[in-house]
Chains A and B, each alone.
Chain A
Amino acid sequence: MRGLLLLTALVATVFGQETFEGHQVLRVTAKDEVQISLLQDLAEMDMLQLDFWKEPAHPSLPVDIRVPFHSLQAAKAYLEANGIQYSIMIKDLQAVLDEEQHEMQSARSVEARNTDSYDYANYHSLSEIYSFMDMLVYENPNLVSKIQIGSSYEKRPLYVLKFSTGGSNRPAIWIDTGIHSREWVTQASGTWFAKKIVTDYGTDPALTAILNKMDIFLEIVTNPDGYAYTHSRDRMWRKTRKPNSGSSCVGVDPNRNWDAGFGGAGASNNPCSETYRGPRAHSEPEVSSIVDFVSSHRNFKAFVSIHSYSQMLLYPYGYTRTPARDQAELHALAQKAITELASLYGTRYRYGSIINTIYQASGGTIDWTYNQGIKYSYTFELRDTGRYGFILPANQIIPTAQETWLALMAIMEHTKDNVY
């Protein structure tokens, strides 16, 4: 059966037939020769485009027929009118094929040999993403380099991809994904962004102009320990994996661990909490590595930290209701960015300060970066709004990445055009 279905899919691809959406497979049991003959007549009706998987041969031997969606009514009416018994063996053939394809994918993930054959429409293991980074650098040595900014608690390397066309410590844009490990669409999008940058440099005028003036730094797996844990043990893991002394609970929320309003309302002091701030600001190596990198670089002009889910574009502050000094400009730019985002698939985003739009949160990343003087500090919450939540279907990765990229471009272009 499985082989037959795979063959069907293969044949369909070869012959350019796109889909078996809505096609049903009926199992028909003819009770006598008369009914066999009627089925043979049915087979002759070319316009129905029926596909007999098992030909009518003998009464009481099942006859399997694949019926295209548009012929379902007619085919069933014919069977019923002639008193021929049938059952629906497969209600939606495409769904079954999708499931099989999915099973094949998750069963044996074959490593891609280059970034063109990498499957951007799927979620990958940590090692696959690390391999991707190396392949990208290898293929684009003049544009991309890989920097290790530190190590995670469990000693995994923290890698940042640097996209640069030269210069010396040019004004820079930072993008991070995966700081919360369960937000898988973000790491997947980060991978897509990396490929997008190398593809568009030299071909897309806007991106080329940005890279001719500025550098882009992209940390795809900002919390690798957490990410590994979501694959091996708990898909819903959010925090780092550092043990907490005096508690059996593990991990610190890396987005409550920054030195901005640290200790105030909007984070927990309970190690068992998902929003545990940690014993002190920057206690987590995943956070301190970025702090050290940004501090020593001294020339970041935009900082974007990407999360999911909720479909929001947020700017500081999270720890206080006091509006950011640049609130008006940040608000206007956010509006522009989400308008660009919506232009692709109509995905609706809300935008505003963190504390107004989502909740009070202290010790957050972009509150710290903004207070360091990095004006264009934004946090994204990607798809969706709660239906799938953290476990967004893989077939939404690319649409999410594509639309988000438009918003990122708006922010990066504005940064380039508004030197400060």
Chain B
Amino acid sequence: MSWFVYATVTLLSLVQGNPTVKSSQQQAPPTAEQSVGYVQQQQSTLEYNNMEPKPALTPAEAMPVEELNPSHYPARRAAHVAQHYLNTQHGSPFKLLGVDRVVSATSEEIAGVGMKYVVVFALKEMITNEPMGQCSAEVLYPIGEEQAPPQVQCSCEGLLHIDTKAQEEALYQQLKASDSLVSGHNIPDSYGFIAPEMKPFWHLGGVASSFVMLKESNESTLYNMAQVVNVTQQESQNKELTFQYHVLLHEMVSQEIIHWKLLVAWCPAEGVRVLQTEWQPKCHHCVAPPSNTTLTLYSTS
């Protein structure tokens, strides 16, 4: 069988909102009739990604809720998905969120819909190493043959406490005023070193990667950004700064290093947006993109 190299050009104009403001582009939270089992929360830190109305479920269709071991991988992977989601919503060159520890988790199969995980985890801001309190997330991995992004709802108690506006504004002004365009490569380098002035662009790469990592996640994956291969600032067309990124993602289960090219826009007011994404083949002469054979096959031998 011969495989063709293909590029996926996706328009991902997910607007990152200020946590205290509900963006008008977000869909209304699902009503009680549409989604039995989803908890309605009124806290201002609650946000939804694009959710389509789910078919109404009768209690009879719900399967038993399974308590998960927080140190085993299913809970961990679900928390990681919530982490990617949080970074798409709140990440910036000066703010990167991470799962510090999974506190508790459950999973539940929802017939005809998918696997729903509820995870409580301790959140950390990764740049300052500040603990950020706890988050409670629902991650729904949709059923289906093809990869579809997980649906995430997440509420965190400590998100509003980090204020990076001053730093973001300073960087933004500095770049706007500059005559030259920023560029860098191998961030970090082989020795784990990052030039201090490149750190915000490393973080920005991490945030942008989160959009892809979120979209690509399923129960059998765990993604991290391994490296920024290069970043090149583009000419600015409007108030946003734009960057072309080439990043390496590490997928833990298959152990693959996956190349992605991302076109990223950022300004303090709008947050991070990913305008285009393009998967890059592993090597030009490779026969096939490796298939993930470490899927959910639990042999009982």
Contacts and interface: CB of A to CB of B under 8 A. Distances in A.
Interface string A248-264: 11000100000001001
A352 B291 CA distance: 27
Nearest to A247: B287
B69 to A, nearest CB: 7
A112 interface: no
Given A106-B191, A274-B256, A248 B285 contact: yes
A360 B192 contact: no
B73 interface: yes
A266 B294 contact: yes
A394 B287 contact: no
B173 to A, nearest CB: 13
Contacts of A91: 196-197
Nearest to A182: B257
Nearest to A355: B298
Interface stretch (A31-39, A164-172, A381-389): A381-389
Interface string B261-301: 00000000000000000000011011111110111011111
Contacts of B285: 248
A387 B126 contact: yes
A266 B195 CA distance: 39
A394 B73 contact: no
A385 B295 CA distance: 22
Given A102-B193, A247-B287, A322-B301, A390 B226 contact: yes
B58 interface: no
Given A270-B291, A310-B252, A390-B226, A320 B301 contact: yes
Interface centre among A92, A348, A359 (most CB of B within 10 A): A359
Contacts of B193: 99, 102, 393-394
Interface in B222-269: 224, 226-227, 248, 250, 252-257
B191 A352 contact: no
B37 to A, nearest CB: 27
A30 to B, nearest CB: 23
A206 interface: no
B72 interface: yes
Contact of B299 (A102, A184, A269, A320): A320
A322 B226 CA distance: 33
Contacts of B101: 348
A272 B298 contact: no
Contacts of A350: 71, 76
Given A268-B290, A386-B224, A391-B227, A99 B196 contact: yes
B184 interface: no
B189 interface: yes
A396 B192 CA distance: 9
B73 A236 contact: no
A99 to B, nearest CB: 6
Main secondary structure of the interface of A (DSSP, over half): loop
B188 interface: yes
A273 B301 contact: no
A48 interface: no
Contacts of B226: 236, 389-391
A358 interface: yes
B98 interface: yes
Contacts of B98: 385-387
B288 A389 contact: no
A358 B73 contact: yes
A275 interface: yes
A321 interface: yes
A279 B249 CA distance: 28
A295 to B, nearest CB: 24
Interface residues of B, number: 46
Nearest to A237: B257
B287 A249 contact: yes
Nearest to B282: A272
A126 interface: no
Nearest to A231: B190
A122 B290 CA distance: 34
A11 B76 CA distance: 49
A356 interface: yes
A388 B254 contact: no
B293 A394 contact: no
A351 B298 CA distance: 19
Given A236-B248, A390-B250, A393-B188, A272 B288 contact: yes
Given A390-B226, A393-B188, A248 B257 contact: no
Interface in B9-37: none
Contacts of B286: 248-249, 272
Given A123-B191, A269-B293, A274-B290, A321 B298 contact: yes
A352 B72 contact: yes
A389 B224 contact: yes
Contacts of B69: 352, 356
B294 A265 contact: yes
Interface in A374-402: 385-394, 396
A95 interface: yes
Contacts of A249: 283, 286-287
Given A272-B287, A275-B293, A391 B255 contact: no
Contacts of B196: 91-92, 95-96, 99
Contact of B73 (A248, A321, A357): A357
Contact of B293 (A235, A268, A386): A268
A267 interface: yes
Interface centre among B195, B248, B299 (most CB of A within 10 A): B299
Interface of A: 91-92, 95-96, 99, 102, 106, 122-123, 184, 230-231, 235-236, 238, 247-249, 253, 261, 264-270, 272-275, 310, 319-322, 348, 350-352, 355-361, 385-394, 396
Top 4 nearest A-B pairs (CB, nearest first) are A393-B192, A386-B224, A274-B255, A273-B290
Given A102-B193, A360-B298, A393-B193, 13 more contacts: A92-B196, A236-B227, A264-B299, A268-B291, A270-B288, A270-B293, A274-B290, A320-B299, A321-B300, A322-B301, A351-B71, A356-B72, A359-B252
